[in-house]
Chain A
Amino acid sequence: MDRRRFLQGLTVAGCSAAAHPLLSTVTMAQGAGLGENRLIVVILRGGMDGLDVVQPVGDPDFVALRPDLAHSTFSLENRFALHPALGGLQGLWTAGQLGFVHATSTPYRDKRSHFDGQSLLEAGTGMDVAIGSQRDGWLNRMLQAVPGLSAETAYAVGREALPLLEGQGPARNWTPEVNLVLSAQSHLLLDHIYHDDALFREAGEEAMTLSAELSGQPRRDTVQAAPEKGPFNPGENRPWKDIDTLVDFAAGRLAGATRIAAFSLSGWDTHRGQEGAIKTPLSRLQRIILRLQAQVGAQVWGRTTLVAMTEFGRTARQNGSSGTDHGTGGVMVLAGGALRGGKVYGQWPGLSEAALYDRRDLMPTSDVRAWAAWAMRGLYGLDRQVLETAVFPGLDMGDDPALIL
């Protein structure tokens, strides 16, 4: 479906109604081919240190590599323990609604640049495609493969542009903080001046349509003023105002017609003093998961899978300043009621010097795209062939890990 044509259709309806149309989101989405399952993708920007988040405490080489980083006693399974800052997720783990993939990465190798790494992660391509040349993101290409979707189906939430959802498939970008109130005449005149500039026309129409739809809608739950300053206990379910605002907005849409949402979370570039520095982004990631679970309600949560992925992991050894530098293999975080969780997926390569990638990084034993592809196949029944060619060109998904219940 052509996103531009879809949005033009909306505007025509808006003009003929001579006022802002309140789009019937439910009606539009019932024709959607995605069914009831929800997928939330979180891009973790900055390179999350998977070895600190899901610590291989049972690996004989682990402690010596990282003498100054805190070692967790929050045992997951076999050799792994969870970072205490995610301690609030214990209930989800026990309930089988939290899982991880270890020693995984995108196909990006060697230069360890955040920006190229993120570009590749969102484009979903391999190293055979020039970085930055792929204009659309893999999540959007997945939408293009499903017939009958409306723009209500997928949302990119937040202030930042998110290449992951960009492309021809129907998707929307919004941040709940923009409050745009326009007279009918201004709306018409803006349509007029944006008409000949495709970029402004599309963004403007979507902004005006969304504002109109959302105006007057009650918040599901008022965001409470949150203490974002001061120390907090490990694992504490601490509110973060910006995150709560975004998650509440996304949860409201997901409880309705929206099936896919995406946003990004930065703060993972822990080059020094990692023990302190990683607590905040972990607390924020935990908050996203717990707040989402609370806000969508039990029924929707039961049909939800959250997938959090990062551009690369970090060095196996701590560096000279009790932090870690840019690496390769890392961790993917999975959560949700639709997930077969309570498990650390992936093949563990070990941490001996010879087992490391380039003798410095955790060796990736799987492609992060394969897990995302299996999640999408499990949630939406997409053909393997579509996933391996259109969504992730050139990917070999390998065996079915049965991620989704």
Chain B
Amino acid sequence: MIDTPTLAAIRFGYGLPQPYPAAGAESLLAALAAPDNMAAQHPTVGFAELLPLLARAADARKMIRADPTQRDTYEAVAKEAVLLADSTTRTGFARAIDAPDGFRERLTAFWADHFITKARNAPERPLPNTLTHDAVRPHLTGRFEDMLIAATLHPAMLSYLDQVASVGPNSPFGQKRGRGLNENLGREVIELHSLGVGGHYAQSDVRQMALLLTGLDANARDGFVFHQNRAEPGAETVLGTSYPGEGLAPIKAALRDLARHPDTAHHIARKLATHFVADNPDPALVTTMTTAYAASEGDLMAVYAAMLQHPAAWVPQLQKARQPVDFLLAALRALGLSGDDLRKMRRGPFNRMIMQPMALMGQDWQKPSGPDGWAEEAEHWITPQGLGARIAWAMEVPGRLVVPMPEPPDFLRTALGTAADEPLIWAAARAESIREGVGLVLASPSFNRR
């Protein structure tokens, strides 16, 4: 029977080994309230540090326009950007592997997915990770409205959801250039980021929100900018509230109201419960979390506490499937790799052994098919092709990562502890080789569920 510390490590972290033996709801919350040691141990960069590189890429593109043979400078900058994206991604992975409190890293991944963005070209490749650094991590234990504002105004989001191309049709700039509205960000802020598609809003709210967001822009010289001359004149009315005024104030006010909307409380509560606990979470759990959200005006610590202190969060059955990235990170952690090992790995082997298999498992890193992020349902991941790719990885790759390989019965204890079930204990002892024994443990339902 699975014990509480093991359950905590598997359901709310990246699995075993877990150095804090007493982990339960209170210790998870305490660790989350403590200083962010992993950020210090594995530092990363934000948009400000990326901006000079984006500027150089823009210059290099200009050179190509003037003389199409001059591609070398651009290629060099693009390569630099790809390497930066790779290294910031590995930083995130290293934190997940090393973290004593995996909950903070799992929450970071959850919110990074909630506000997922995708690069449009090679120089933009580091952008999604900078949004995580600038907008998600600082607000992880704060108020949702602050995270919503930071993420919505982040250049990665403004670029990905086309806000940089949206102009108030009646603004001076729009009139002069014949430019107009692009609804993309306005729609997704409501549908995906706040109220949820089941929320009470209409097409007219989407359009009003899009008009309200005009003026927001980002470019490769200045980063974030607000152009008053591109903002639609007059007040917009979103969900019955009018937002008059100039500059960022009405935009922030509308985002705060969206964040405090009852539909948002329910949407966020249900999404967290679905991600951490079960694909169809206990309605009582969702209600408790929704109430905590509403009562605290979106204080995320209060919402996490409501989840962790609810008995439904601790049912011993592992109902979810680990996503491919979680599966791989949990496997690396169980195999005893350190974050530094992962960061030092050469790019070729890293891509062949981690990133390409992750794509075959169904998760092409930072290339989701849409702004709704990765699927939650176990059925989405544990398909013949997805599970086939996990089995293939489990059988082939660990032997290339760790020498010598652990004995299967020992590895079973390290990787799963009390979460190992009888059939797996029986099977792990009967594998024909160490390689296959370790592979069986990693390919097992116990290891792939959480």
| A210, B388: Cα distance in complex, Å | 10
Q: Is the CB of A200 within 8 A of B445?
A: yes
User: CB of A400 within 8 A of chain B?
Assistant: no
Are A166 and B379 neighbours in the complex by a CB distance under 8 Å? yes
Q: Would A203 and B387 be within 8 Å (CB), given that A192-B426, A320-B166, A358-B203 are in contact?
A: yes
What is the chain B residue whose CB lies nearest that of A113? B197
Known: A320-B166, A321-B162. A174 touches B385 (CB 8 A): yes
> Is A174's CB under 8 angstroms from B370's CB?
no
Shortest B270–chain A CB gap in Å is 12
Collect the chain A residues with CB atoms within 8 Å of residue B369's CB: 45-46, 160, 266
Chain A residues with CB under 8 Å of B162's CB are 271-272, 321, 323
* A241 to B: closest C-beta gap in Å: 13
Q: Can you list, as one digit per residue, whether each of A114-129 has a CB less than 8 Å from chain B (1) or not (0)?
A: 1110000000000000
How many A-B contacts if CB must be within 8 Å? Answer: 171
Is the CB of B386 closer than 8 A to any CB of chain A? yes
Interface string of B190-223 (1 = CB under 8 A from A): 0100000100001100100000000000000000
Bound form: Cα–Cα A124–B436 in Å = 43
In the complex, what residues of A have CB within 8 A of residue B431's CB? 185-186, 189
The interface residues of chain A lying within 8 Å CB-to-CB of B395 are 182, 186
Q: Establish whether residues A196 and B385, one from each chain, have CB atoms under 8 Å apart when the complex forms.
A: no
Per-residue interface assignment for chain A, residues 177 to 191, with 1 indicating a CB less than 8 Å from any chain B CB and 0 otherwise:
111111101100110
Docked Cα-Cα span, A183 to B431, in Å, equals 10
B387 lies within 8 A of A111 (CB)? no
Residue of A nearest to B378 (CB): A199
Contact residues on B (Cβ < 8 Å of other chain), bracket: 35 or more
| CB 8 Å contact bits of A87-114 with B (1 = contact, 0 = none) | 0000000000000000000000011111
Tell me whether B432 and A183 are in contact (CB under 8 A): yes
Interface residues in A202-250 by Cβ distance below 8 A to B read: 203-204, 206-208, 210-211
1/0 per residue, CB under 8 A from A, across B358-395: the answer is 01101010000110100100111111111111011001
Measured between beta carbons, the chain B residues less than 8 angstroms from A204 are 384, 387, 391
Q: Are A180 and B392 in contact, CB atoms less than 8 angstroms apart?
A: yes
Residue in A172, A273, A326 whose CB lies within 8 Å of B187: A326
* Residue B182 at the chain A interface, CB threshold 8 Å: yes
CB contact list, A126-185 vs B, under 8 A: 158-161, 166, 172-175, 177-183, 185
A110 touches B203 (CB 8 A): yes
Chain A residues near B119: list those with CB within 8 A.
none
Distance to closest chain B CB from A204 (angstroms): 6
Residue ID in chain A nearest B181 by CB atoms: A320
Complex Cα distance, B191 from A305, in Å, reads 36
Q: Is the CB of A272 within 8 A of B165?
A: yes
B372 touches A159 (CB 8 A): no
Knowing A178-B388, A186-B431, A319-B180, say if A115 contacts B445 (CB, 8 Å): no
The verdict on A52 contacting chain B, using a C-beta distance below 8 Å, is no
B355 within 8 A of A: no
Contact B430 A207 (CB under 8 A): no
- Chain A residue, CB-CB nearest to B370: A114
A189–B437 alpha-carbon span in the complex (Å): 10
- CA of A58 to CA of B85 in the docked complex: distance in angstroms? 48
Give the contacting residue for B383; candidates A114, A161, A177; CB below 8 A: A161
CB contact between A320 and one of B167, B383, B387, B427 (< 8 Å): that residue: B167
Is B9 part of the contact surface with A, judged by Cβ < 8 Å?
A: no
Q: Which of B197, B203, B384, B421 contacts A207 (CB 8 A)?
A: B384
Q: Among the interface residues B166, B369, B386, B387, which one has the most CB atoms of the partner chain A within 10 A? A: B387
Q: A189-B430, A210-B384 are in contact. Are A320 and B169 (CB under 8 A)?
A: yes
Q: Per-residue CB proximity of A319-332 to B under 8 Å, as 1/0?
A: 11101011000000
**Residue B418 lies at the interface, judged by CB distance under 8 Å to chain A:** no
B370 touches A323 (CB 8 A): no
Minimum distance in angstroms from B389 CB to a CB of chain A: 5
CA distance A194 to B444 in the complex (A): 7
Check B427 against A272 for contact (C-beta < 8 Å): no
Query: In the bound complex, what is the Cα–Cα distance between A275 and B180 (angstroms)?
Result: 17
Partner of B385, one of A178, A200, A325: A178
Check if A197 is an interface residue, CB within 8 A of chain B: yes
Min CB gap B199→A, angstroms: 10
B197 touches A115 (CB 8 A): yes
Closest CB in chain A relative to B50 CB, distance in Å = 22
- Distance in Å from the Cβ of B158 to the closest Cβ of chain A? 12
Which chain A residues lie closer than 8 Å to B354 at the CB level? none
Docked complex: A25-66 residues within 8 A CB-CB of B: 45-46
Interface residue? B6 (CB, 8 A): no
Query: How many angstroms from the CA of A178 to the CA of B392 in the assembled complex?
Result: 8
Q: Is the Cβ of A269 less than 8 Å from the Cβ of B370?
A: yes
Contacts of B384 in A (CB 8 A): 172-174, 203-204, 206-207, 210
| Interfacial residues, chain A to chain B (CB-CB below 8 A) | 45-46, 110-116, 158-161, 166, 172-175, 177-183, 185-186, 189-190, 192-197, 199-200, 203-204, 206-208, 210-211, 266, 269, 271-273, 319-321, 323, 325-326, 358
12 A–B contacts, CB within 8 A, in A order: A45-B370, A114-B370, A115-B370, A159-B362, A160-B362, A174-B385, A182-B391, A189-B427, A190-B443, A200-B445, A211-B388, A320-B180
Chain B interface (Cβ < 8 Å from any Cβ of A): 161-162, 165-167, 169, 174, 179-184, 187, 191, 197, 202-203, 206, 321, 359-360, 362, 364, 369-370, 372, 375, 378-389, 391-392, 395, 421, 423-424, 426-427, 430-432, 436, 439-440, 443-445, 448-449
Q: A175-B360, A178-B360, A271-B184 are in contact. List 17 more A-B contacts (CB 8 A).
A: A111-B191, A159-B386, A161-B362, A173-B384, A177-B360, A178-B392, A183-B432, A186-B395, A186-B431, A186-B436, A190-B443, A194-B445, A204-B391, A211-B388, A271-B165, A320-B182, A323-B165
The 3 closest A-B pairs by CB, nearest first: A320-B180, A321-B165, A207-B388
